[in-house]
């Protein structure tokens, strides 16, 4: 994790990206292609609108990559979402959270694919370059039976640090992470909020003992919601920066589907059984009992509690949070990086992601 943070610190200045390159067309990504990313957007798109759409397309590609890994092992494989052959043991563990988990995982995977596919086609239709991250597919697949072991990945689901503070954030009636409040929130599951944990079986050795596999499935259940709450915030955050009414329509049409995902996964995460992993000694708590319990941890609350917004002089209101627009893209990129989702990726990958975020954050609403 410290190496990852150091990479981000080294790559903050865009001057460092000159020569690292990104070809965002339909072909491979390579060196010396950065102008393709920062060139004038033609057609009806402004610089800023194209940059925001490219960043969102990139994140949706990354989301599709890890959802496909979940689907291969615990979802439904069909012509819509092809993948591996499935892991019966892992699927059973996921179904401890909800019997319909395979269908939900399949549908979430399909949704993310349609998001990046649509955005890329919209970019091309308006004379702008689409995003292609295929040259960064270098990470290994799970070696567990059921995973497509022939595929190289963009993301790593086997070394995650899962931020579960969204659980208490959406239950708080007095705090908001956005300025001017800048509040922080306790973790719902401290055991997976530090260290590195698999959310899918790494090999068939992870299939036993049963409680060890259940801990992995519980981690996945919370990771699902952790990812989707980020999308719930990112789309309205970036929507505040677009110029085109049509691009705004795209963001406010896709964004709510991310919120629907989040609501679903938040509900399922609350069903994660309270267990102790016999392999690691780490525990998933019963969130309804001390030292947890109360409204901030209740598993029966799946809708956002009203809280402060903009200024304490206003009455509390039920909202998505955070939605601060300044630095929203960089915040999303760092959030994904800090959870270990890109462990093993190259310096060029981090430079590319950071540059996409920088251009999206630089977008300004025009007239």
Is residue 298 exposed (0-12), middle (13-18) or buried (19+ Cβ within 10 Å)?
middle
6 contacts: CB under 8 Å, gap ≥ 6 = none
Look up residue 266 and give its two tokens: 């938040």
What is the predicted pLDDT for the residue at 197? 98
- What digits encode the pLDDT tens for the residues 48-67? 999 999 999 999 999 999 99
Place of tokens 């679903």: 264
* Rounded alpha-carbon distances, angstroms, from residue 328 to 85, 114, 304, 307: 38, 23, 21, 21
In this structure, how many other beta carbons lie within 10 angstroms of the beta carbon of residue 39?
13
pTM here?
Answer: 0.88
What is the predicted pLDDT for the residue at 366? 75
In this structure, how many other beta carbons lie within 10 angstroms of the beta carbon of residue 259?
18
**99-125 burial string, b = 16+ CB within 10 Å, else e?**
eebbebbbbbbbbbbebbeebbebbee
Distance between CA atoms of 241 and 168, rounded to whole angstroms? 28
What is the predicted pLDDT for the residue at 82? 76
Distance between CA atoms of 53 and 58, rounded to whole angstroms? 9
**Residue 310 zone, left/alpha/beta (φ > 0; ψ -120 to 50; rest):** left
What is the predicted pLDDT for the residue at 367? 57
Of 118, 117, 115, 109, nearest to 68 by C-alpha is 109
SS3 content of the chain, % helix, strand, coil (to 5): 50, 0, 50
Q: At what angle do helices 328-338 and 2-10 cross, to 10 degrees?
A: 150
Low-confidence ranges of the chain (pLDDT < 50): 1, 4-5, 7-42
Distance between CA atoms of 188 and 68, rounded to whole angstroms? 26
* 67 touches 105 (CB < 8 A): yes
């Amino acid at each position: 994790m410290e190496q990852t943070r150091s990479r981000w610190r080294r790559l903050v200045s865009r001057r460092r990206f000159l020569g690292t390159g990104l070809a965002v067309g339909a072909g491979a990504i390579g060196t010396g292609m950065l102008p393709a990313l920062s060139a004038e957007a033609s057609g009806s798109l402004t610089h800023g609108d194209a940059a925001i759409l490219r960043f969102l397309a990139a994140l949706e590609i990354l989301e599709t990559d890890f959802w496909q890994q979940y689907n291969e092992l615990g979802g439904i494989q069909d012509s819509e979402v092809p993948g591996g052959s499935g892991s019966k043991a892992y699927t059973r563990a996921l179904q401890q959270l909800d019997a319909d988990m395979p269908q939900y995982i399949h549908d979430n995977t399909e949704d993310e694919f349609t998001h990046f596919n649509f955005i890329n086609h919209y970019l091309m239709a308006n004379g702008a370059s689409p995003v292609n991250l295929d040259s960064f597919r270098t990470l290994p697949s799970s070696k567990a039976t059921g995973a497509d072991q022939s595929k190289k990945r963009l993301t790593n689901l086997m070394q995650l640090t899962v931020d579960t503070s969204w659980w208490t954030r959406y239950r708080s009636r007095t705090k908001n992470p956005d300025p001017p409040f800048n509040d922080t929130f306790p973790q719902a599951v401290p055991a997976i909020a530090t260290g590195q944990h698999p959310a899918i079986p790494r090999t068939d050795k992870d299939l036993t003992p049963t409680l060890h596999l259940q801990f992995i499935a519980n981690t996945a259940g919370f990771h699902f919601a952790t990812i989707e709450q980020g999308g719930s915030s990112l789309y309205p955050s970036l929507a505040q920066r677009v110029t085109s009414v049509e691009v705004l329509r795209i963001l406010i049409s896709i964004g709510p589907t991310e919120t629907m995902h989040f609501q679903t996964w938040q509900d399922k995460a609350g069903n994660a059984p309270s267990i102790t992993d016999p392999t690691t000694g780490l525990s998933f708590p019963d969130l309804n009992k001390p030292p947890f319990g109360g409204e901030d941890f209740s598993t029966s609350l799946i809708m956002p509690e009203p809280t402060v917004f903009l200024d304490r002089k206003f009455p509390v209101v039920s909202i998505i949070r955070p939605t601060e627009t300044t630095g929203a893209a960089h915040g999303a990129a760092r959030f994904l990086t800090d959870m270990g989702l890109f462990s093993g990726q190259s310096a060029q990958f981090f430079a590319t992601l950071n540059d996409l975020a920088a251009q999206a954050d630089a977008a300004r609403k025009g007239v």
